[in-house]
Amino acid sequence: MSTSPATVVILGTRKGLFFLTGDGERSSWALSEPHHLGNIIQHAVVDPRNHTRLLAATRTGHLGPTVLRSDDWGATWTEAITPPAFRSGERLERSLDAVFWLTPGHADEPGVWYAGGTPQGLFRSEDGGDTWATVDGWNDHPMWETWAEFPYQGTPDGAMLHSVIVDPRDPKHLYIGLSGGGVFESFDGGADWQPLNEGTAADFLPDPDAEFGHDPHCVRLHPARPDRLYQQNHCGIYRLDRPHDRWERIGDNMPADVGDIGFPVELHPRDPDTVWVFPMDGTEVWPRTSPDGRPAVYRTSDAGSTWMRQDHGLPERGWFTVKRQAMTTDMADPVGVYFGTTSGELWASADLGESWRPIARHLPEIFSVEVAHVDGGFGSS
Amino acid sequence: MVRIPTPLRSYTGGAAVVEADGTSLAELLDDLDRRHPGLRFRAIDEQGRLRQHMRIFVNREIERDLETPIGPGDDVALMQALSGGCDRALDRGGEGPPAPGAADQPRVTVTPM
């Protein structure tokens, strides 16, 4: 077994979870057998505080949602004793349809995880994902019924709470994204929240200066510059540099014939100015495929002032979608970039997006793509 | 005795039929969860409602009210409802009982045990 760090891509798909293991050079890849075949794996995330721990948000077409944990790279799995759920008997009679998003907590809180759901609930575990409780400050916030989509859910796949972000400097400073609803921020560990949407467009709302109701698709905070956030929104690409609270539409600098609509926005792990997006067609009836069916990643290396098309190796024509959790970057040098498609292909670049090749095909619809580097080789702990 | 559909048998060690006690469906499900932790929440949501694609049959009659009384001799089956994909088994005379409730649930077929 190789002793160099293996690069492991964790794929959450409509039909199960897969590991794709690369060698140290990221040149050859091996696909695992499916784990939990037939189960919907919405999001599978490795714990950065414990690289052998993996949590997966799952459900099936029939069964309710739950969270699975593995501490041995999928050799064994343990289901949450108390999965995320709304409080029984509550006034709104909410029922969690899906765990949509998982986020590990702060480095100083090694057992803490957050989960975002459909409907748009927020849940927290303090024991590594075994038991979950509602974050009452959000779920019972006096404005929740106004901010969240409930009971009517206008978002096509159901309203979801995503992009749970923990400030690496302060475990009580949190951000969340609601599709639809907007970005919200808490400074007290989730006890209270306020909207953070100034500057973002909401072309589907009559009020151009609406305080909430927006549709962030994916929000990322840069770990090397925690005052910087990027957002791929239903209506544009944005950057926010705190302490300012007005988002700047950096997507206006994208080519006009491509536009700045999409789902994911992914970060260079060390350079806060470098970001990747995967534009999609948001015209007319919103096909959500690449503009003109010509798949391309776009990268900025100057925080959004200019964008570079990166399509070398990608098919000339293609009609897939890349979902908000289905793109990521690794920690290697040069940085690797990965995206999974709704048509079950996993594309990778080992050179900052300059060139692409498929490293897995014929998979189920890909919902999430995450990467970990495993010392001592994949499978050892 | 309660019949368990395939998606929930990971909770029962693979058993298709398990024991559980109770004087109502709700009590039966609570006891089922005590014996097989985690099973109930996958079929019944946190507000005590049967999940959208699950069905319970008592003596082959569909039952949605979890407060329904049950007795020692009642045949209780927890089943998954499908909108497609399982009726081929019925077409070829699949194992288990005929599709209970199918007549009054024309758009839903029921997985044979």
Question: How far, in Å, CA of A262 to CA of A321, rounded?
Answer: 9
The answer to whether B20 touches B32, Cβ cutoff 8 Å, is: yes
Q: Which of residues 19-38 of B touch A (CB under 8 A)?
A: 37-38
A306-311: average pLDDT: 98
Residues of B in contact with A86 (CB under 8 A): 46-47
Q: Are B51 and A93 a contacting pair at CB < 8 A?
A: no
Q: Are A94 and B51 a contacting pair at CB < 8 A?
A: no
Asked if the C-beta of B98 comes within 8 angstroms of chain A's C-beta atoms, the answer is no
At residue A305, the pLDDT reads 98
Asked if the C-beta of A89 comes within 8 angstroms of chain B's C-beta atoms, the answer is yes
User: Mind telling me how many Å the CA of A215 is from chain B's nearest CA?
Assistant: 27
For chain B, domains (ranges, CATH) are 2-80 (3.10.20.30)
Which of B12, B34, B42 to mutate to probe the A interface, most A CBs <10 Å?
A: B42
The answer to whether A170 touches A156, Cβ cutoff 8 Å, is: no
At residue B105, the pLDDT reads 33
Question: CA distances (Å), A317 to each of A281, A297, B55, in order?
Answer: 13, 13, 45
Partner residue facing B47 (CB), from A62, A79, A88:
A88
For A341-363, write each residue's pLDDT tens digit.
999 999 999 999 999 999 999 99
Asked if the C-beta of A91 comes within 8 angstroms of chain B's C-beta atoms, the answer is no
Residues of B in contact with A58 (CB under 8 A): none
User: Mind telling me how many Å the CA of B92 is from chain A's nearest CA?
Assistant: 23
Question: How far, in Å, CA of A258 to CA of A247, rounded?
Answer: 21
Which burial class, exposed, middle or buried, applies to A59 when counting CB atoms under 10 A from its CB (0-12, 13-18, 19+)? buried
| Chain A / chain B CB contacts < 8 angstroms | 51
Cβ contacts of residue B58 below 8 Å, gap of 6+? B25, B68, B70, B74, B75, B76
- Whether A64 shows a pLDDT value over 80: the answer reads yes
Phi and psi at A143, nearest 5°, equal -100, 0
Asked if the C-beta of A63 comes within 8 angstroms of chain B's C-beta atoms, the answer is yes
Which amino acid, A125? S
Question: How far, in Å, CA of A91 to CA of A295, rounded?
Answer: 46
At residue A52, the pLDDT reads 84
A113-117: average pLDDT: 98
The ipTM is: 0.89
For A158-172, write each residue's pLDDT tens digit.
899 999 999 999 999
- Whether A69 shows a pLDDT value over 90: the answer reads yes
Pull the structure tokens for residue A76. Answer: 């064994």
**What distance, in Å, lies between the first and last C-alpha atoms of chain B?**
14
Question: How far, in Å, CA of A322 to CA of A162, rounded?
Answer: 16
> Which residue in chain B is spatially nearest to A93 when comparing CA positions?
B47
> Which residue in chain A is spatially nearest to B54 when comparing CA positions?
A62
Three-class secondary structure of residue A90 per DSSP: coil
Pull the structure tokens for residue A274. Answer: 């470098």
- Whether B74 shows a pLDDT value over 90: the answer reads yes
For A41-62, write each residue's pLDDT tens digit.
999 999 999 888 999 999 998 9
Proportion of chain A above pLDDT 70, given as a percent:
97
At residue A5, the pLDDT reads 78
Residues of A in contact with B45 (CB under 8 A): 64, 85, 95-96
B65-72: average pLDDT: 94
For B9-41, write each residue's pLDDT tens digit.
999 999 999 999 999 999 999 999 999 999 999
Lowest mean pLDDT among A21-35, A36-50, A162-176, B98-112: B98-112
B68-72: average pLDDT: 93
At residue B59, the pLDDT reads 95
Q: Give the residue ranges of DSSP H helices in chain A.
A: 136-139, 144-147
Pull the structure tokens for residue A278. Answer: 């995967």
- Whether B104 shows a pLDDT value over 90: the answer reads no
At residue A123, the pLDDT reads 98
Partner residue facing A95 (CB), from B7, B47, B80:
B47
**Between vectors from CA A333 to CA A266 and to CA A45, what angle results, nearest 5°?**
45
**Which H or E element spans position A263?**
strand A262-267
The answer to whether A7 touches A373, Cβ cutoff 8 Å, is: yes
pLDDT band at A376 (very low <50, low <70, confident <90, very high): low
Q: Are A66 and B81 a contacting pair at CB < 8 A?
A: no
Lowest mean pLDDT among A8-12, A340-344, B107-111: B107-111
The answer to whether A125 touches A109, Cβ cutoff 8 Å, is: no
Pull the structure tokens for residue A256. Answer: 């006009």
User: Mind telling me how many Å the CA of A373 is from chain B's nearest CA?
Assistant: 31
Question: How far, in Å, CA of A213 to CA of A235, rounded?
Answer: 12
